[in-house]
Structure 1
Amino acid sequence: MLRRSLIATAGALLAAPAIAQPRALRLMLDWTPQGYHAAWFLAAERGHFAKEGLNVTIQRGFGSGDVVTKLAAGAAEIGFGDPGAVVKHNADNPGRAMVNVFQYFDRTLAGVITLAGRGIARPADLRGKRIAAPVGDSGRVLFPVFARANGLAADAVTWITVAPPLREPMLFRGEADAITAFVSGAFFNLRALGAKEADIRMFRFNDFGVDVFGNALLLPAEMAAREPEMVRGFVRATLAGLKDALTDPAAAIAAVQAREPLADIPLETERMRFIMREAVLTPTAAAQGIGHVDPARASAMVAAMAEAFAVANPPSAESFMRMDYLPPAAERMLPAMRA
């Protein structure tokens, strides 16, 4: 009888359907964990990823442009990076193309930053000035487009090549007249050095003729085509985490600090509010829902990037700026950020 019972049990186990295992994914951020990354930390903590059958490991990045290179090398499956960098990558690597499946930042954070007293009240005043930036900085790469849009010759400035941590100190000490950087970093770094908020002047690219998108969720085109429901689930979980972050900023920053123990809570809270205001909670997002990509604007971005990177055969915007993985617009409307 025991033998028959064991045989019956074994048969029942063999006949039972296999339990689906969560899809393991690696998400690469653009930098170390900061407040604007909280959507993914909360999606992990509050079960939004698990609900979509995903087991997501989140890892730091080393720059929004570098994310594309790391994805192509297989360092992660999904990345939060610069869709502008995809223009050159896809032109050079048509067999390993990347796609943008969720336009998180409606505007780039790149810009030219200076201080009062440097004689720079408008972009044309940069003529003859010294600008400090790393070679690969997105603002420096796009500067020729910015210059042309503002009646300035691209070679009318002198570039000082520096490591990222040195540019704000050089500007503050007067060793450079301006820098290119993400305004979200430069603003807080200059203030920490002692600059008065009223003295910080920021020429945001979107406001001065270079209307390009900011960071987005990127992944290999082949993977997106092979696993469309996985991609849609990842986007839904991201949206859920973002809404949680906006309605509960304290929990959002706590989730960041759990992964970056040295994070300054007041600073990261202020930085998150700054970035949400600058790049996420925009009029476009309010009218069309976050993730909306206007075709004409996307084509203009491709043209700007092709000029900046000297790409002769750029991909079409519609080939990689995708909206078919998004939920309906009504589900992409965001709440105001709670005080």
Structure 2
Amino acid sequence: MIRRMLLAATAALGLSAAPAAAQDRITLVLNWLPGSDHAPLYWAQQQNRYRDANIALTIENGRGSGFAAQRTGSGQAQIGIVDSPSALQARAQGADLVAGMMIYVQSPYGIYWKRSSGITGPQDFRGRRFGAPPADAARVMWPMIARAIGIQPNEVTWVNIAPEAKVASLQSGAIQATTHFYNVHYIYERVFGDDLGYVLTRDIGFNPYGNAFWINGPWLRANRDAAQRFIRVTQAAYRDCLANPAPCVEAVSGPAATSVEDLTVSWRLVAELMGDDPAGNRPLGGMDPARMATTIEAVRTAFNAPEMTPQQVMTNELLDPSIPSHRAPAR
């Protein structure tokens, strides 16, 4: 009897002393500094959703889509948030990247100017001075945007400025136009009021897929289960934040160093960009191969890139098919 009790106690101690399963370590590099579009990530991490999925997630600040693509493509980060045309351009240059979940179904590119500068629309861009960082996604894609407008890319002059200097440079007249993602549109409206002029490229015929979670290809092939757990936790977090944004913007307000009020306004613009893929009937974050093919063709034409197929650059298989796509609020 005593021997049986000792054996039972030993077995119990052995079970309690057994080490927990090692978590899968994933580094996610953002496209820029934390903002409203990253709120679901910080909220899910705050709620221990990644930990509960056996993922040890590290979120790194980014310095543009080009930087995120380079860091992810080289394997320094397993996953990066990258503007899709920038990711495809990086892939054409040798980076092995695969899109696992689309964030911006609609292109986020916007071009902003002051009406008092004499610009009345894109037809007046010729000879103007544009300012943006070299890695700015819309600047990188300028050849394609210019083609949609109907001008030559070299008909504007680009000036290098820091990301945080865009609004001030436009105010001062140091530049006459700049590019920015639509999720900060409210800032331009607030600063420039009735003097604001702008155009969204999706309204002038250039509407490629936007930001997505792009995954390092070799890591994905070796760690498909971990990649799927990350994508599904993230997909569910975006769904929950679309339904109830308040706790999500609260979670990112500290890392973003931005007020909850401003983040709430910005999140509404993010929600607009996330919805209404013409293909429809896809889960949240799902991608249409035909739409991706159009995005690939735009990049290939603009940069003389090698041919790629949607099957090579994207997968919907990591997503939870039961999470429905999002309907964009009216503008």
TM class by smaller structure: 0.7 to 0.9
> 1:5, 1:23 → 2: CA distance?
37
Amino acid at match of 1:89: A
> 1:49, 1:166 → 2: CA distance?
35
> 1:137, 1:112 → 2: CA distance?
12
Aligned to 1:195, the other structure's residue is in SS state helix
Shift of 1:6: 6.1
Worse-superposed segment, 316-325 or 263-272: 316-325
> 1:106, 1:237 → 2: CA distance?
19
Shift of 1:106: 0.5
> 1:327, 1:285 → 2: CA distance?
18
1:115 aligns with 2:114: yes
Amino acid at match of 2:117: R
Work out whether residues 292 and 323 of structure 1, in 8 Å CA contact, stay in contact via their aligned partners in 2.
yes
In structure 1, the residue matched to 2:275 is 281
Amino acid at match of 1:140: R
In structure 2, the residue matched to 1:235 is 231
Gap change, CA 1:283 and 1:324, over 3 Å in 2 = closer
Aligned to 1:117, the other structure's residue is in SS state helix
Amino acid at match of 2:324: R
Q: Which of 283, 308, 312 is the matching residue for 1:315?
A: 308
RMSD: 2.8
Q: Which of 194, 198, 202 is the matching residue for 1:202?
A: 198
Shift of 1:191: 4.3
Shift of 1:39: 1.1
Shift of 1:221: 1.3
In structure 1, the residue matched to 2:317 is 324
Aligned to 1:331, the other structure's residue is in SS state coil
Work out whether residues 246 and 335 of structure 1, in 8 Å CA contact, stay in contact via their aligned partners in 2.
no
Shift of 1:283: 5.2
In structure 2, the residue matched to 1:265 is 260
> 1:276, 1:31 → 2: CA distance?
18
Shift of 1:89: 2.5
Gap change, CA 1:184 and 1:331, over 3 Å in 2 = closer
Shift of 1:333: 3.1
Worse-superposed segment, 22-31 or 285-294: 285-294
Structure 1 gaps of 5+ residues are none
Structure 2 gaps of 5+ residues are none
Work out whether residues 110 and 201 of structure 2, in 8 Å CA contact, stay in contact via their aligned partners in 1.
yes
Work out whether residues 285 and 291 of structure 1, in 8 Å CA contact, stay in contact via their aligned partners in 2.
no
> 2:311, 2:327 → 1: CA distance?
29
TM-score normalised by the chain length of structure 1: 0.85
In structure 2, the residue matched to 1:306 is 300
> 1:335, 1:181 → 2: CA distance?
23
> 1:230, 1:91 → 2: CA distance?
26
TM-score normalised by the chain length of structure 2: 0.87
Work out whether residues 38 and 241 of structure 1, in 8 Å CA contact, stay in contact via their aligned partners in 2.
no
In structure 2, the residue matched to 1:57 is 58
Work out whether residues 170 and 176 of structure 1, in 8 Å CA contact, stay in contact via their aligned partners in 2.
yes
Work out whether residues 291 and 332 of structure 1, in 8 Å CA contact, stay in contact via their aligned partners in 2.
no
In structure 1, the residue matched to 2:161 is 162
Work out whether residues 253 and 265 of structure 1, in 8 Å CA contact, stay in contact via their aligned partners in 2.
yes
Amino acid at match of 1:135: P
Work out whether residues 90 and 315 of structure 1, in 8 Å CA contact, stay in contact via their aligned partners in 2.
no
> 2:286, 2:198 → 1: CA distance?
26
> 1:336, 1:135 → 2: CA distance?
31
Shift of 1:188: 4.0
Aligned to 2:112, the other structure's residue is in SS state strand
Aligned to 1:179, the other structure's residue is in SS state strand
Q: Which of 239, 244, 247 is the matching residue for 2:240?
A: 244
1:134 aligns with 2:136: no
Shift of 1:42: 2.1
1:214 aligns with 2:213: no
